[in-house]
Chains A and B, each alone.
Chain A
Amino acid sequence: NAGVTQTPKFRVLKTGQSMTLLCAQDMNHEYMYWYRQDPGMGLRLIHYSVGEGTTAKGEVPDGYNVSRLKKQNFLLGLESAAPSQTSVYFCASSSWSARSTQYFGPGTRLTVL
Chain B
Amino acid sequence: GENVEQHPSTLSVQEGDSAVIKCTYSDSASNYFPWYKQELGKGPQLIIDIRSNVGEKKDQRIAVTLNKTAKHFSLHITETQPEDSAVYFCAAPPGYSTLTFGKGTMLLVSP
Contact = CB atoms under 8 A, between A and B. Distances in A.
Contacts, number: 54
Contacts of A99: 96-97
Interface string A4-45: 100000000000000000000000000101000000111111
Interface residues of A, number: 25
A43 B89 contact: yes
A49 to B, nearest CB: 9
Interface SS of A by simple majority: strand
Interface of A: 4, 31, 33, 40-45, 48, 50, 56, 58-59, 90, 92, 99-107
A21 to B, nearest CB: 14
Contacts of B68: none
Contacts of B93: 100
A4 to B, nearest CB: 8
Contact of B104 (A42, A56, A92, A105): A42
